[in-house]
Amino acid sequence: MKPFKFSAVNNPAEAITLINKNTDAAFLGGGTNLLDLMKEHVALPNEIIDIGNLSLKEIKATASGISLGALAKNTETANHPLIRKNFPVLSKAILAGASAQIRNMATNGGNLLQRTRCSYFYDIAMPCNKRNPGSGCAALEGFNRMHAIFGWTRDCVAVYPSDMAIALSALNASVKVLSSERERIIPFRDFHILPGAHPEKDNSLQHGELITAIEVPKNDFAEHSAYVKIRDRNSYAFALVSVAAGLTLNGNTIQTASIAMGGVAHKPWRALNAEAYLKDKAATAANFAKAAEAEMALAQPLAHNKFKIEMGKKALINALETAFKGNI
């Protein structure tokens, strides 16, 4: 690792004051991704501000839903009785990610800030616009089996790795952020961004901003929700494709469907076409299949990931059927 100055802070204001003084400083939460990137010389902060002592760890019911402290651990979040009962798709998604040890360390805020696991991003001998803007994308013509099928550009075909965030996207969460000037709430759909002109940026957070909480509104599909994850190993592997789905039902009729996909784009991919197709339709196998077709028709596969189109359809259908059965 590159040498860095280390300090531990005790309140958010102190953390923000410190980070504003140095554009090469980084906050350290659980460290499960940042430390790994620092060892590989992909992340090169010269100052680490340890925010592990901040009291942003509370998970509490609010008038509109639930608030997840940015520094509450993933394990604690997944196992909180209110979340298991009212937001089980979030528990399921968190538990689908990483290992028990990593979930014990990883924080909720940090989970959202995970960088892509694109192997060219990790390999500093390779060009990568995300790591080194302007150097090119080695994955575009390289081994891109794991990469995006939606929303990519010729500058970046990486996918976003979090499972937790896929459920939060389907749950219409928002991210509460504090800076020296203000507190702002970023709707989940605007938090992570597509590569566009700046693939080096994964999200709309600015330097000097600290995530304090994730707000999740109440939903009426807790019982009829599902998280399906397809991966190369049965456990402890990143998604090839994943789907978080929630169905608001009136008998057998779908009032609304909330669906987000992981492993397919640079951000949690909200399946808006599938959602639109399912609105006010009967919850039948035929309609689930048509909704999946509608979404995946827009996919643009790369040389090695055409399989994700069929896999995406099947994952969507599986998630919708599981959600409809209501056995989470």
Q: Which is nearer to another protein, 222 or 296 (CB)?
A: 222
Q: Which is nearer to another protein, 40 or 200 (CB)?
A: 40
Kindly indicate which of the ranges 4-12, 19-27, 198-206, 303-311 contains the residues binding another protein, using the contact rule CB under 8 A: 4-12
Kindly indicate which of the ranges 3-11, 173-181, 261-269, 288-296 contains the residues binding another protein, using the contact rule CB under 8 A: 3-11
* Alpha carbon distance 243, 221 (integer Å): 15
Report which of 1, 2, 28, 34 is spatially closest to residue 15, judged by C-alpha positions: 28
* Alpha carbon distance 285, 157 (integer Å): 32
Residue 58 CB, shortest distance to another protein, in Å, is: 18
Angle between helices 307-325 and 285-296 (to 10 degrees): 140
**Tokens matching residue 203:** 């999200």
Residue 3 CB, shortest distance to another protein, in Å, is: 5
* Alpha carbon distance 146, 148 (integer Å): 7
236 binds another protein (CB under 8 A): yes
75 binds another protein (CB under 8 A): yes
Residue 10 CB, shortest distance to another protein, in Å, is: 12
Is residue 38 within 8 A of residue 6, CB to CB? The reply is no
Site string for another protein, 144-173 (x = CB under 8 A): ------------------------------
Report which of 96, 75, 68, 27 is spatially closest to residue 263, judged by C-alpha positions: 96
* Alpha carbon distance 29, 318 (integer Å): 35
Residue 207 DSSP label = T
Residue 2 CB, shortest distance to another protein, in Å, is: 8
What is the footprint of another protein within residues 17-56 (CB under 8 A)?
Answer: 28, 31-32, 35-36, 39, 48, 50, 52
**Tokens matching residue 297:** 């028709």
Kindly indicate which of the ranges 107-115, 185-193, 230-238, 284-292 contains the residues binding another protein, using the contact rule CB under 8 A: 230-238
* Alpha carbon distance 304, 325 (integer Å): 34
Q: Which is nearer to another protein, 100 or 282 (CB)?
A: 100
Residue 88 CB, shortest distance to another protein, in Å, is: 4
Q: Which is nearer to another protein, 156 or 228 (CB)?
A: 228
Interface pick for another protein out of 81, 181, 250, 280 (rule CB under 8 A): 81
Q: Which residues contact 114 (CB under 8 A, 6 or more apart)?
A: 33, 160, 161, 162
Distance of CA 15 to the CA centre of its chain: 24
Q: Which residues contact 22 (CB under 8 A, 6 or more apart)?
A: 46, 47
Interface pick for another protein out of 222, 254, 260, 296 (rule CB under 8 A): 222
101 binds another protein (CB under 8 A): yes
Distance of CA 38 to the CA centre of its chain: 21
- Secondary structure tally for the chain: helices H, strands E: 13, 12
Kindly indicate which of the ranges 87-95, 181-189, 243-251, 284-292 contains the residues binding another protein, using the contact rule CB under 8 A: 87-95
- Classified as helix, coil or strand, 71 is coil
Q: Which residues bind to another protein, rule: CB under 8 A?
A: 1, 3-6, 8, 28, 31-32, 35-36, 39, 48, 50, 52, 75, 78-79, 81, 84-85, 88, 91-92, 95-96, 98-102, 104-105, 222-223, 233-236, 327-328
